[in-house]
Structure 1
C-alpha cells in the first residue's frame, strides 16, 4: 500500500512546483528563467519518482521531456465569463471508469490574430477541481494527438494568479506550461481528453511537445 503514500508525495511535489512558479511570477522574476526551473523540476520528477508517468524501462532511457521554446506571446490575461450554460458532460474512460465534468465558464483570447474561446470545467468527483484541457493544430504532428492540459487543480496544476487580485474571475493562462496527460507516455494510464468545444484550429506552439523516449 506504500504506493498511496508515493502518490500523495508526488501530488505534493507537483503542487509545490506550481506554487513556487506562481510566487516567482508574482514577484516579477524573469518568466523565461522561472519556466526553465519549473521544467527542470518536472523532468526530475519524471526521471526518478515512483509515481512518475513513465514505467521503469522508460525511466532508464529518459533524457528529458521535449518542449517548444519559450513564447511570451502565448501568455494571456483573461476574464472568466461565468454567464454560460452549465452543461454536464459524461466521459467514459474505460469499462470501469467514467467522469462527469460541468462547464463553469469560458475565456476568450486572440492567438496569431484569430479569436479563440476555451471552456473551463469543474470535475465532478470527490472534492472537485478546475480543469482546462485543449487540443490545437500542433496535434498530432508536434504535440500529443489527444490534446494537452493547461491546468487540473485536483492534481496540483493551477493557472497563474493576477498580481494584487483575489479570486479567480481573472487569471493568467500561460501556454508555455501546457502539458501532456499521463496517457501520452504509455497505455497503462487512462485520462480525460479535450472535448470538441475545446478543439482549436490555431496552433499553440508552446509548452510540452509529443513524447519520444530517446
Structure 2
C-alpha cells in the first residue's frame, strides 16, 4: 500500500473510532466503558498501523499509551460563542514552520471553582476544519509540555455531536479524550501548538499523559 493510501486508511480508522464513540455516548452507554474501548482501539492502531505516530522502533517496544483514569468531572457541556472577531494568526509548528488559523468561537466553563475559556479555531488549509488545542497546568510534569488537542476535525477527531438549542451551537468538551499531537512522540512530525490564549493555569487531570 502506498504511503498516501495508508495515511487515508489510518485517518479513516481514526474517524471511525470517534463515530463509534459518539454513537455509544448518544445511546446512553456507560461513559467509562466507552472510553476504555476507545483507548484500546487507539493503542492497537498505534501498535500495528504503518502510519502510526510512532516509528518502527517505538512500535516494537510499545505497550500502550499512558492515560489518566476516567474523570467524569472533566466533561463539560458548553455553548460556542460565535460572537467573536474572526482573528487570523500564525501558529508555530516548530522553530521553522507555522500555519494560519482563524478564531471562530469561544467556549467557557468552570474547572473546580475557576472560570476558564478556550478559543475554537478554523484551520486555513485545503478543506479547513475545526481545531481545539490547549495546554493546562499538568504540562509541567504529567502531560506534553507544548499542550494537547481536544479535537482536530481534519484528522477525524471530532467532538461529541453538536446540538441546536435556540439556535445556539452546543458541544460536549470531554477532556478524557484529550490527546497528544504527533510531534510529542518523535521528531519526524511537526504540529501546531496551543497559542497563548489557550494556555490554562488550572489542572485538567484527564486524557492522555506524556508519552516520554
Work out whether residues 163 and 171 of structure 2, in 8 Å CA contact, stay in contact via their aligned partners in 1.
no
CA distance 1:163–1:102, shift in 2 (3 Å): closer
CA distance in 2, matches of 1:25, 1:195: 30
Query: Runs ≥4 in structure 1, deviation > 2 angstroms?
Result: 91-98, 162-168
Gaps of 5+ in 2: none
- 1:162 positional shift: 5.2
Gaps of 5+ in 1: none
TM normalised by structure 2 equals 0.95
**Aligned equivalent of 1:11:** 11
CA distance 1:22–1:69, shift in 2 (3 Å): same
**Aligned equivalent of 1:23:** 23
CA distance in 1, matches of 2:26, 2:153: 19
User: Is 1:180 aligned to residue 172 of structure 2?
Assistant: no
User: Is 1:47 aligned to residue 77 of structure 2?
Assistant: no
- 1:92 positional shift: 4.2
- 1:91 positional shift: 2.4
CA distance 1:165–1:12, shift in 2 (3 Å): farther
Say how many residue pairs are matched.
212
User: Is 1:148 aligned to residue 122 of structure 2?
Assistant: no
Work out whether residues 47 and 62 of structure 1, in 8 Å CA contact, stay in contact via their aligned partners in 2.
yes
- 1:183 positional shift: 0.3
CA distance 1:52–1:36, shift in 2 (3 Å): same
TM normalised by structure 1 equals 0.94
CA distance 1:69–1:141, shift in 2 (3 Å): same
**Aligned equivalent of 1:110:** 110
Q: Show CA shifts across 1:156-200 (max 9, x none).
A: 001112578798810100000000000000011000010000000
Q: Show CA shifts across 1:94-114 (max 9, x none).
A: 587431000000000000110
CA distance in 1, matches of 2:9, 2:168: 27
What RMSD over aligned residues (CA atoms) do the two structures have, in Å?
A: 1.8
**Aligned equivalent of 1:211:** 211
Work out whether residues 161 and 168 of structure 1, in 8 Å CA contact, stay in contact via their aligned partners in 2.
no
